[in-house]
Amino acid sequence: MPERNEYLLEVKGLKKYFKAGKGTLKAVDDVSFYIRPGETLGVVGESGCGKTTCGRTVLGLYDSTDGQVLYRGEDVHQMKGKERQNFTKHAQIIFQDPYASLDPKMKVYNIIAEGIRAHGLLKSEKEIRERVEELLVTVGLDKQYAERFVHEFSGGQRQRIGIARALAVEPEFIVCDEPISALDVSIQAQIVNLLGRLQKEKGLTYMFIAHDLSMVKYISDRVMVMYLGKVVEITASDQLYENPMHPYTKALLSAIPIPDPKMEEGKERIKMGGDIPSPVDPPEGCRFHNRCKYATEKCRTEEPKLRLFGKDHYVACHMAKE
Ligand SMILES: Nc1ncnc2c1ncn2[C@@H]1O[C@H](COP(=O)(O)OP(=O)(O)OP(=O)(O)O)[C@@H](O)[C@H]1O
Ligand SMILES: [Mg+2]
C-alpha cells in the first residue's frame, strides 16, 4: 500500500442517500477510494449508478450521509471558513451539460472572472481582463469571445468556456463530470486532448466521470467501476482492460465496439440479463446478482466487499479468483 501522504484525496465509506417517498435512495453507498496527486481516476458505470452524486459529495457540494472525504488529510465535510474557501479554490468541477451549467444571462467574461473575484485572486479590472483573455486562449478560444453570451456558442465551445472557468482559480483537482458526453464524437477527442494537455502543463489531478469505457481508457491512470451506488472494481487502467475481473466490468468492456468489423464479428459479447434494480431500497447481497450469470446463493444474500487481488486491483465479487 502507498504511504498515506501519497494521496491527494481519500474517500472512506462515503454514503449519500436521498429520501424517496417512504424509501431511501442509496445513490452512493459505502464507497472508498483514493486519488494520487497528478493522476486521473476514471469513474464509469451506467446512467444512475451514482457517478455525479459521488463527484459532488466529494467536492462538498452535497452533504454526506456518512463516511469521510479527506483532501490532503483534511475532512472536506468538516471544513469551515477560510479552510473551506481554500478547498473551493483548489477543487473545481466541469459539469456534465455545457448547455445547462453556464448562465445564459452572463457574458463569458463574467462567467470566467467570477471565481477570480470571489477568491480575491486579482484586484484590478485590468489584471482580471488579461487573465480572462489568457484563459480563453489556453482553452483554444479567441479572446474576443469574452464579450459574447453563451447562447452564441456551440457545445464544444461552451465546454471550453466551462474548462476556462474551472481553471480561472488555479485549481489542483478537477472533477470532470462527463465533460464530453453532450458533444459530437468529432469534438470529444479535442476536449479530451485539451484536458490531457492542461493536466501535464499544470500538474492537475482529475476525477474523470464517463458513461462508457472507450474514452476513459486514454485519459485514466486508474479506473473505478460503479454499479448501483457501489464500487465493483478499481485498478490501473491497463490492468482493467487486460484483466477485468468483475462480471459487470466484463460486460461493459464487451459493449465497446472494435473498429475492425472482422474482429467485431468474432467477439464474444457478454449480455447482461435482467434490468437495473431500483436504487431505492436496493437488493440484498450483491447488487448485480439478478443480472449475473455466475450468481450463487451466497451472492443473493451476502454483500461482497472489495478484495485485493495482486497489486492494486480491487474487486467486489464472491466469485473472483486469483
Ligand atoms: N438531488 C437528488 N435528489 C434525489 N435523488 C437524486 C438526486 N441526485 C441524484 N439522485 C438519484 O441518485 C441516483 C444516482 O444519480 P447520479 O446523477 O449520481 O447518477 P449518474 O451515475 O451520474 O448518472 P448519469 O450517467 O445519467 O449522469 C439516481 O437514481 C438519481 O435519480
Ligand atoms: Mg451524472
Q: Which ligand is nearest to the CA of 226?
A: 1
The DSSP code sequence of 183-196 is S-HHHHHHHHHHHH
Residue range 169-187, pLDDT digits in tens: 999 999 999 998 888 888 8
Q: How far is the CA of 206 from the centre of ligand 1 (A)?
A: 20
Nearest to 26 by CA among 298, 211, 227, 246: 227
Mean pLDDT computed over 48-66: 97
Q: Whose CA is nearest to atom 4 of ligand 1?
A: 18
Write down the pLDDT at residue 258: 61
Residue 68 C-beta-side C-alpha neighbours within 13 Å: 11
Mean pLDDT of the chain: 92
Contact (CB, 8 A) for 65 and 59: no
Q: 25 CB less than 6 Å from ligand 1?
A: yes
Task: Indicate the residue type of 82.
Answer: K
Q: 27 CB less than 6 Å from ligand 1?
A: yes
Cell numbers describing residue 148: 459574447
Q: Which ligand is nearest to the CA of 95?
A: 2
Write down the pLDDT at residue 2: 47
Q: 53 CB less than 6 Å from ligand 1?
A: yes
Cell numbers describing residue 95: 459539469
Distance CA 109, CA 143 (A): 10
Distance CA 44, CA 216 (A): 8
Cell numbers describing residue 263: 474482429
Residue range 10-27, pLDDT digits in tens: 999 999 999 999 899 999
Residue range 39-50, pLDDT digits in tens: 999 999 999 999
Distance CA 271, CA 285 (A): 21
Q: What atom of ligand 1 comes closest to residue 229's alpha carbon?
A: 14
- Listed range (174-183, 232-241, 249-258) with the worst mean pLDDT: 249-258
Nearest to 8 by CA among 30, 31, 45, 40: 40
Q: How far is the CA of 177 from the centre of ligand 1 (A)?
A: 12
Q: 23 CB less than 6 Å from ligand 1?
A: no
Q: Whose CA is nearest to atom 5 of ligand 1?
A: 18
Label residue 152 exposed, middle or buried (CB < 10 Å: 0-12, 13-18, 19+).
exposed
Q: Which residues contact 55 (CB under 8 A, 6 or more apart)?
A: 43, 93, 175, 177, 207, 209
Residue range 278-304, pLDDT digits in tens: 999 888 999 999 999 999 999 999 999
Q: Whose CA is nearest to atom 30 of ligand 1?
A: 48
Q: Whose CA is nearest to atom 18 of ligand 1?
A: 50
Distance CA 313, CA 241 (A): 12
Q: Is the per-residue pLDDT at 3 higher than 60?
A: no
Q: Label residue 72 left, alpha or beta by phi (over 0 means left) and psi (-120 to 50 means alpha).
A: left
Long-range contacts of 100-107 (CB under 8 A, 24+ apart): 101/162, 102/150, 102/158, 102/161, 102/162, 102/165, 103/150, 104/149, 104/150, 104/151, 105/149, 106/149, 106/150, 107/146, 107/147, 107/148, 107/149
